[in-house]
Amino acid sequence: MFETMRWLPGEECLELLDQTKLPVEISYIKCSDYRAVASAIKCLAVRGAPAIGAAAAYGLVLAAGRAGANTKEEILALVEAAARELAATRPTAVNLNWALTRLTKKAHDADTGDPVVLRGLLLEEAHAVFREDASGNRRIGEYGQGFIPQNGRVLTHCNAGALATAGYGTALGVIRAARDAGKNVSVYADETRPLLQGARLTTLELLQENIPVTLITDNMAGFLMAKGMVDLVIVGADRIASNGDVANKIGTYGLAVIAKAHNIPFYVAAPFSTVDLSLQAGDEIPIEERDHTEVTHHGGRLLAPVGVKVWNPAFDVTPHHLVTAIITDRGVVRPPYHENLKKTI
């Protein structure tokens, strides 16, 4: 699989895979300024809650490296200003804030006045965020793969794969781990309108891994389940409230309702950094609304009459009672989530 992001040590810059161009074109965006990282997050060149957390962490490294900052205070000021800007790019995924807070705290707590040493500490921390996400994904895979039976047919929504993380993936990590455990797993991928992360990214990852995948439009999932063609659903998450309510890509909620109606288990796979214990319930999660042209246009081509009104929320909230289990890098959490998520810390 392509690398979602890579730090170029000699050039002191971050390269981000431009996922808006996949699967047609493989190209990387070179970011030598944190604002380029912010733009890449905004336009979804890099996307997926864990991946934007890691990208933002590297963004703060770039902010700290700006010329003219020679004291700890000056660097801290740059880092905090950049963190505010990066945090504002996308409101729903909490991993972004989690990573920014982690690096800002590292800078604050650093016991050094040397700007070069301080920047080195921040880069180390960004690498740690990235590395820990990749290893966390492996643990999610190990913890979760037991839920997939031999010959299991899994439905997934959006892309919660290597491309959405530092590598391996959350929902797709569980699928990879099941395959690696010798199971003959096959996948149905919702195309995931409006931006088609399922059609463009999930299918690409699975084809590259030789895991059988069938693409469907989002509105086919119900009929697929009614025909008995799905054994379980696994999706990722952008933010999980302390009661287990899950914000994830728009369409997840409808899938969960239909899965429940068919008694099909519905799993959420996410690193614990996606859990926001400061929120009681999902209705407190800010839901990003994106530009109308994402729905009315594709590739510059108009799909609808000029001037039509559009509603375009990028995420929805699935209430905890529809979630069979949450598979995290710290283990599987089962209901009642308001008790068991806290115990998992």
Give the residue numbers annotated as catalytic, written as ranges. Answer: 238
Residue 233 binding a second copy, by CB under 8 A: no
Scan for tokens 């890509």, then name that residue: 249
Measured from the CB atom, the residue of 265 and 331 that comes closer to a second copy is 265
Residue 168 binding a second copy, by CB under 8 A: no
Residue 303 binding a second copy, by CB under 8 A: yes
- Least separation in angstroms between residue 156's CB and a second copy is 13
Determine the Cα–Cα distance for residues 41 and 55; give it in Å rounded to an integer. 8
Four-CA torsion 248, 250, 256, 258, nearest 10 degrees: -170
Residue 26 binding a second copy, by CB under 8 A: no
Q: For residue 266, what is the enclosing H or E element? A: strand 266-269
Q: Is 128 exposed, middle or buried (0-12, 13-18, 19+ CB in 10 A)?
A: middle
Q: Please name the residues in contact with 252: beta carbons below 8 A apart, sequence gap of 6 or more.
A: 157, 158, 235, 246, 315, 316, 318
Q: Could you say which of 108, 304, 334, 342 contacts a second copy (CB under 8 A)?
A: 304
Side-chain half-sphere of 76: how many Cα atoms within 13 Å?
A: 13
Residue 220 binding a second copy, by CB under 8 A: yes
Q: Could you say which of 76, 181, 216, 332 contacts a second copy (CB under 8 A)?
A: 216
Side-chain half-sphere of 121: how many Cα atoms within 13 Å?
A: 21
Residue 42 binding a second copy, by CB under 8 A: no
User: Rule CB under 8 A: which of 260-279 touch a second copy?
Assistant: 260-261
Q: Could you say which of 92, 97, 145, 192 contacts a second copy (CB under 8 A)?
A: 192
The site for a second copy (CB under 8 A) is made up of: 23-24, 157, 188, 190-194, 196, 199-200, 203-204, 207, 212-224, 226, 250-251, 253-255, 257-258, 260-261, 295-296, 298-299, 301-305, 307-313, 316-317
